[in-house]
Amino acid sequence: MDQVDGEKVIIAKPNHSSSWRHNLWLLGALAVPSLGAGIGFALLGAWPILPLAGLELAALGGALYWVNWKLEYRHVIRLTDDLITVDKGYFVPKRRWCFERRQSALRVVPESHHWQGPELSVHDRLSETRVGDFLSREETLELLSLLRQELRIRTHSSDGSLEA
């Protein structure tokens, strides 16, 4: 949790096992032997191997890009004296929820299996949004402890329904 100009900011984002730069290094390291073998076979007359090697590398590059893009998703929770704002998006906020601080609460749905974390939602009487649903169990419990310091837990249910 960071403190910026009197507001508390919590940024929840998925784990990155590798950066985009490291993924490019991996793709390059795999391209050298793959294209080298493809060029070698093409010089021996087996030319269909070269386009297939290029297609294989393009598919791998596309998959690495897609996974890296999905890992840029984040939830930014801003807590001020009057408002709670939850922004969700990849590089810029795509959706935003605003809750009046004194009318909002945290809903916790216990995990259904021991390796999952609990479901966390910020809500008021009119709307609700889940937060940190992509986090690991330990990260979800850490987010829960941070949010417990700032919000009251008004609902604690096992069926996922909103209680008063």
At 134-144, the pLDDT tens digits run 998 899 999 99
Convert the pLDDT of each residue in 109-125 to its tens digit. 988 888 888 999 999 98
Asked, for residue 46, whether it belongs to a domain, the answer is yes
Domain holding 123, by residue range, is: 2-13+75-156
- Number of CB atoms found within 10 A of residue 108's CB: 19
Q: Give the pLDDT of residue 98.
A: 94
Q: Please indicate, yes or no, whether residues 121 and 55 belong to a single structural domain of this protein.
A: no
Is residue 95, in this structure, part of any structural domain at all?
yes
pLDDT at 66: 93
Q: In the chain, pLDDT over 70 holds for what percent of residues? A: 93
Q: Are residues 33 and 88 in the same domain?
A: no
The answer to the question of residue 161 being in a domain is: no
Q: Is 112 among the domain residues? A: yes
Q: What is the largest CA-CA distance in the chain?
A: 75
The set of residues, in sequence order, having a beta carbon less than 8 Å from that of 104 and lying 6+ positions away, is: 84, 122, 123, 124, 151
Is the pLDDT assigned to residue 158 strictly greater than 70? no
pTM of the shown model: 0.74
Quote the CA–CA distance of 8 and 1 in Å, as a whole number.
Answer: 7
The number of distinct structural domains making up the chain is 2
pLDDT band at 95 (very low <50, low <70, confident <90, very high): very high
Structural domain contains residue 163: no
If asked whether residues 79 and 133 sit together in one domain, one would say: yes
